Structure 1
Amino acid sequence: MAILVTGGAGFIGGNFVLDWLAQSGEPVINVDKLTYAGNLETLKSIDGNPAHLFVKADIGDRAVIGELLRTHQPRAVINFAAESHVDRSIDGPGEFIQTNVVGTFNLLESVRGYWNELDEAARAAFRFLHVSTDEVYGTLEADDPPFSESNAYEPNSPYSASKAASDHLVRAWHHTYGLPVLTTNCSNNYGPYHFPEKLIPLVILNAIAGKPLPIYGDGQQVRDWLFVKDHCAAIRAVLAGGKVGETYNVGGWNEKPNLDVVKTICGILDELKPRTDGLSYAEQIAFVKDRPGHDRRYAIDARKLERELGWKPAETFETGIRKTVAWYLENTQWTANVQSGAYLQWVEKNYADRNS
């Protein structure tokens, strides 16, 4: 038995592969294109593990994916592969359409061809689990209830629109062709191995480097924060017991304005790695021009997942963010290796015109 994971060198996919192998002896075929956010350093601890096979490939390459499926006969495919950064999608939406829409279509067709060739028992046991985002639901007002699985899709960015399209494709391949699919829509993840253009790792690394901590607009955009290892546990639960064709929302029950998140990080850094001048890292906070069409609030109602499969997050935001800050302070070599020239050029370009 084996599973095939796409995007398994990225942030969430990489954490999932590490956790899977730590808790299961079942082999993983790990496929990743290794774009800017894919990082083999994340998987360094499993170098030489015979239960882990890494293959550099694009999910849109039907010949490669088809051959991997036929050779290794996985019982499940878990699709993490995606372009996922909203700012990058605003700057260049084409890559998001290509990976998230066209790539998902090609992956579904590869998997459908493989699944059709399985015997009856293997067909019944097989699962295709598609990992998606709460951003497909659009934005919430301050007093709106959290997103449930029945919320209409109202994506507002090129990124969320491309993920919404991929979700619809997965649904259609189930209803039209019978492919046994599961979909998860998660809130904002944070934790170890997070690529440092996202808010939490960006703030941690900028703070200790003495750089400004950029806050979009007034910093009151609210997000529901989910520790990545809790997300991995949720995916395992859905894979093991989720009802075919169903969607499960995964959230951390941790709604926080961005400014509060940044101030919390500053407080932890003040304790764990104080500035040499004795001032708080909060002194480095700098408000910058907001991103176009910035959604005001996301929140996830994860009660269906708890009710049907018994999952709920193990970490509060306070425990998870402390673990996250400590991890970045202890893993400076990983952060140095991922902060390449191309990454630094992108950060400079993204924030250069936002300074107010």
Structure 2
Amino acid sequence: MKLLVTGAAGFIGSNFVRRALADELPGVEGAEIIVLDSLTYSGNEENLAPIADSPRYEFVHGDIRDAELLDELMPRVDGVIHFAAESHVDRSVLDASIFVETNVLGTQRLLDAALKHGIGRFVHVSTDEVYGSIEEGEWTEEFPLEPNSPYAASKAGSDLIARSYHRTHGLDVVITRCSNNYGPYHFPEKLIPLFVTNLMDDKHVPLYGTGENVRDWLHVDDHCRGIALVFAKGRSGEVYNIGGGTQLTNVEITEKILELMGKDWSYVDHVEDRKGHDLRYCVDITKIETELGYTPQVPFEQGLAEVVQWYRDNRAWWEPLKERAALA
């Protein structure tokens, strides 16, 4: 089996590739992998350095919107796992254009190429942010899509395009929607790595608004295991939520990070809230649990402590990224 994995120089995609090539993911053991990544600001080939010499790995620097390139690559693979996306909400508020171009048009180009070349399975990796915000309870996969940020709207658009290729053309498409990921190799503009690396340098951390926004935290290892299960056993045309089962307010997660870093609340600066900031996300994972046997396996306290230690041990990885992106 040979897979095309898009966006795999990023945080989640690189974890998937590293674990797949180590035969640690169910259903994709022994797979050969072609990575397609355009290496935008958050794409980093260093994320794939641990497996760069694997005979089962090939890297292609290119854009998912490049139809000619896709025509070259698709005949060589049996399936696609599509991570590639512009994904930072704040950046989408400032300029939504690249989010629409990459996330919607790019996904459509991939689907066209997969259909043209008879690809067996196409997994489209999405986000719980497409559902909007939920005051209480949990989203099942049947909830309507009500995205509130330009990023989430672009992902909802890509979900609907992917679904349409299954319904219209019979393409074997499956969609996953994950909650907030954390783990090693996470680009340091996101909450956990930004706070940890700022505090390592004795800098303050910015907390939006009151910090009462609630997120469900999912270790990237659990997410990638869920994606592999969906690729191997998910029902064609279906959507599967993948969650971690740990709901925390941003205040609560900030407190946990401060404790691990040996800092106090004086290091926290409350800043103006993000426009359209969703208050609460929470996904129901009953479907993937009952159909595919998925359960999150990394306890949050353990996972967070390991992530903090990883950033302590890997300053040479994250420091240049923060300097390049001019992150505080």
Q: TM-score range by the shorter chain?
A: over 0.9
Output one character per residue of 1:79-105: Cα deviation in whole Å (capped at 9) or x when no partner: 000000000000110010000011111
Structure 1 stretch 221-230 or stretch 259-268: which is displaced more? 259-268
8 Å CA contact retained: 1:148, 1:249: yes
- Residue in 2 aligned with 1:29? 34
Say which SS state the counterpart of residue 340 (structure 1) adopts: helix
Residue 209 (structure 1) aligned with residue 209 (structure 2): no
Residue 186 (structure 1) aligned with residue 178 (structure 2): yes
- Residue in 1 aligned with 2:277? 294
- Residue in 1 aligned with 2:123? 129
Q: 1:340 aligns with which of 310, 323, 326?
A: 323
Output one character per residue of 1:231-251: Cα deviation in whole Å (capped at 9) or x when no partner: 000001111100000000000
Q: TM-score, normalized by length of structure 1? A: 0.89
- Residue in 1 aligned with 2:69? 64
The RMSD of aligned alpha carbons is 1.0
Say which SS state the counterpart of residue 131 (structure 1) adopts: strand
Instruction: In structure 1, give the amino acid aligned to 2:274.
Output: R
Distance 1:163 1:148 in 2: 17
Distance 1:90 1:204 in 2: 24
Distance 1:28 1:34 in 2: 17
Instruction: In structure 1, give the amino acid aligned to 2:16.
Output: F
Question: 1:315 Cα deviation (Å)?
Answer: 1.2
- Residue in 2 aligned with 1:44? 49
- Residue in 2 aligned with 1:105? 108
Q: What pairs up with 1:151-300 in 2 under 5 angstroms?
A: 151-270=143-262, 280-300=263-283
- Residue in 2 aligned with 1:276? none
Residue 85 (structure 1) aligned with residue 68 (structure 2): no
**Consecutive unaligned residues in structure 2, runs of 5 or more:** 24-28
Say which SS state the counterpart of residue 141 (structure 2) adopts: coil
Distance 1:256 1:230 in 2: 18
Structure exhibiting the larger radius of gyration computed from Cα positions? 1
Instruction: In structure 2, give the amino acid aligned to 1:64.
Output: L
Q: TM-score, normalized by length of structure 2? A: 0.97
Output one character per residue of 1:283-339: Cα deviation in whole Å (capped at 9) or x when no partner: 211101001110000011111100000001001211111111111111111112322
Structure 1 stretch 95-104 or stretch 280-289: which is displaced more? 280-289
8 Å CA contact retained: 1:5, 1:80: yes
Instruction: In structure 1, give the amino acid aligned to 2:35.
Output: N
Question: 1:227 Cα deviation (Å)?
Answer: 0.3
Question: 1:281 Cα deviation (Å)?
Answer: 4.2
Distance 2:229 2:169 in 1: 25
Output one character per residue of 1:180-226: Cα deviation in whole Å (capped at 9) or x when no partner: 00000000000000000000000000111111110000001000000
Distance 1:283 1:260 in 2: 15
**Consecutive unaligned residues in structure 1, runs of 5 or more:** 116-122, 271-279, 349-356
Q: 1:330 aligns with which of 308, 313, 316?
A: 313
Q: How many residues align?
A: 323
8 Å CA contact retained: 1:10, 1:37: yes
Distance 2:64 2:34 in 1: 13
Distance 2:42 2:265 in 1: 28
Distance 2:249 2:164 in 1: 36
8 Å CA contact retained: 1:32, 1:56: yes
8 Å CA contact retained: 1:39, 1:338: no
- Residue in 2 aligned with 1:17? 17
Instruction: In structure 1, give the amino acid aligned to 2:103.
Output: N
Distance 1:75 1:281 in 2: 51
Question: 1:282 Cα deviation (Å)?
Answer: 3.2
Q: What pairs up with 1:315-326 in 2 under 5 angstroms?
A: 315-326=298-309
Say which SS state the counterpart of residue 339 (structure 1) adopts: helix
Distance 2:52 2:145 in 1: 40
Instruction: In structure 2, give the amino acid aligned to 1:322.
Output: A
Distance 2:220 2:249 in 1: 19
- Residue in 2 aligned with 1:353? none
Output one character per residue of 1:22-44: Cα deviation in whole Å (capped at 9) or x when no partner: 11332100000100010011111
Output one character per residue of 1:258-283: Cα deviation in whole Å (capped at 9) or x when no partner: 1111110111122xxxxxxxxx2432
Distance 1:34 1:340 in 2: 17
